[in-house]
Amino acid sequence: MDSSITLAIGGGLLIGASAVILMAFGGRIAGVSGILWGAISLSRPVLWRWLFLLGLPAGAQLAHSFGGAPLPSPSALPTAMAIAAGLLVGFGVKLSNGCTSGHGVCGIGLLSRRSLVATLTFMATGILTVLLVRHVLVAGA
């Protein structure tokens, strides 16, 4: 099996395991946007949130260092477009009451209809965005 496939499967298993462990021992959904907000909020900072957030880039670094995962190449996306995209993602997170990890990993695992609709919307929007940006806008330029 290709090492990138092995890393992807291992990463998926670790994401699922972390979501189950957080729910089992903390009664919390492993939604990154909620964990981030709780970490930066002055009203309720908790050490586990910071450790969870630090584990995200640390896991990627470990996959690169020991698993041979390639580093992603820098994006050619203009800075203004990246900022606009980030703001749109933030708006979507607020509108859907959660992020892809909260809805897609945890919500669907809990058989939440709202999470299923949110995840289908995330996926459809992502597919449409790639189609427009990579094929329609580029072809028109």
| Domain extent for 117 | 74-141
Compute CA 35 distance to the chain's CA centroid, rounded to the nearest angstrom. Answer: 12
- The reported pTM is 0.73
83 and 138 share one domain: yes
27 and 67 share one domain: yes
Q: Answer yes or no: are the C-beta atoms of 109 and 19 closer than 8 Å.
A: yes
Compute CA 10 distance to the chain's CA centroid, rounded to the nearest angstrom. Answer: 16
Domain boundary among 72, 107, 125: 72
pLDDT in tens, 16-47: 898 899 889 888 888 888 888 888 886 766 88
Task: Please give the Cα distance from 99 to 30 (Å, whole number).
Answer: 10
pLDDT in tens, 51-78: 989 998 898 888 888 877 777 888 887 8
The confidence score (pLDDT) of residue 73 equals 82
What contacts 27, CB < 8 A, 6 or more positions away?
none
2 and 27 share one domain: yes
48 and 61 share one domain: yes
User: Coil, helix or strand for 107?
Assistant: helix
The full DSSP string for 15-69 is HHHHHHHHHHHH-----HHHHHHHHH-TT---HHHHHHHHHHHHHHHHHHHHH-P
For 69, other C-beta atoms within 10 Å of its C-beta total 18
The confidence score (pLDDT) of residue 44 equals 66
33 and 93 share one domain: no
85 and 120 share one domain: yes
Q: Is the pLDDT of residue 3 over 80?
A: no
Burial (0-12, 13-18, 19+ Cβ within 10 Å), 46: middle
Q: Answer yes or no: are the C-beta atoms of 102 and 116 closer than 8 Å.
A: no
pLDDT in tens, 82-136: 899 888 888 888 887 888 888 888 888 889 999 999 899 989 988 998 899 888 8
The confidence score (pLDDT) of residue 11 equals 82
